[in-house]
Amino acid sequence: MPLYCPRAFRAPAASGPTLAEAWPFATLITPMADDEPWISHLLMLPDPDDAGALLGHLSAASGHCRVLFGQPSVAIFHGPHSYVSPRWYVSPGPQVPTWNYTVAHAHGRAAPLDDEGARQVLVQLSQVLEPAGGWAPDFGLAPVAAELPGLVAFRFHVSRWDVKTKLSQNRTQEDRAAVARHLAQGDAMARAVAAAMEDPPPSSAASAAPEA
């Protein structure tokens, strides 16, 4: 599944894991040859034992589990994104609205984990997302242990990252500064985009034509 990405917005593959770690809620897509693709929304976190892999789990009741391990899939991670008004540009001439965003596509294959692997996925989830002293799974408790058969945990081996950072790189420096200034006055998501615009991943030379 290719990603349309003009040269100005193409970011290094090495920036993909960083974006995924910061924004770990993923859309996992497994294409099917003769049917609709399976699509699931889930957390996928970096594998602490394998820098080239991610860890996740699905409900065992999901039909996605029946096809996940038979073919390649792609996990899509959405970073910060926000609307950009044409009123914000300082360049003369007619302008159009657009949307600034960052996104990373992880292409690869999933491999199932055993019960011990599933336990480790839950432990990792609590360590990453819970505050210090927060909830941690106690597998000695019957209610927690009873949840394990309902999970299908997996390791996702990434073969390729495609990363797109559409952060007004195709605009003049004055336009980019104006957009970032307005976004910095917006909500938390808009402010995150403004912060990303201050130091976007390096990309190829900007295109001369604006990108909608």
Contact in structure between 83 and 168 (CB atoms under 8 Å) = no
Predicted confidence at residue 199, as pLDDT, reads 73
In a domain, 185, yes or no: yes
Query: What tens digit of pLDDT does each residue of 92-112 get?
Result: 988 999 999 999 999 999 999
In a domain, 2, yes or no: no
In a domain, 123, yes or no: yes
Average pLDDT of the residues in 13-28: 97
In a domain, 202, yes or no: no
- At residue 17's C-alpha, the angle toward residues 182 and 107, to 5°, is 110
Predicted confidence at residue 54, as pLDDT, reads 98
Counted domains in the chain: 1
In a domain, 189, yes or no: yes
Neighbours of 157 (CB within 10 A): 16
pLDDT over threshold 60, residue 205: no
In a domain, 89, yes or no: yes
Pairs from 1-4 (Cβ < 8 Å, separation ≥ 24): 1/29, 1/31, 1/74, 1/105, 1/107, 2/162, 3/103, 3/105, 3/162, 3/164
pLDDT over threshold 60, residue 149: yes
Query: What tens digit of pLDDT does each residue of 22-78 get?
Result: 999 999 999 987 889 999 999 999 999 999 999 999 999 999 999 999 899 999 999
Q: CA separation (Å) from 8 to 11, 39, 71, 207?
A: 9, 29, 32, 6
Predicted confidence at residue 207, as pLDDT, reads 36
In a domain, 120, yes or no: yes
pTM, to two decimals: 0.89
Contact in structure between 18 and 120 (CB atoms under 8 Å) = no
- Residue 37: give its domain's CATH number: 2.30.110.10
In a domain, 79, yes or no: yes
Query: What tens digit of pLDDT does each residue of 171-203 get?
Result: 999 999 999 999 999 999 999 999 999 876 665
Residue range of the domain that includes 38 = 7-196
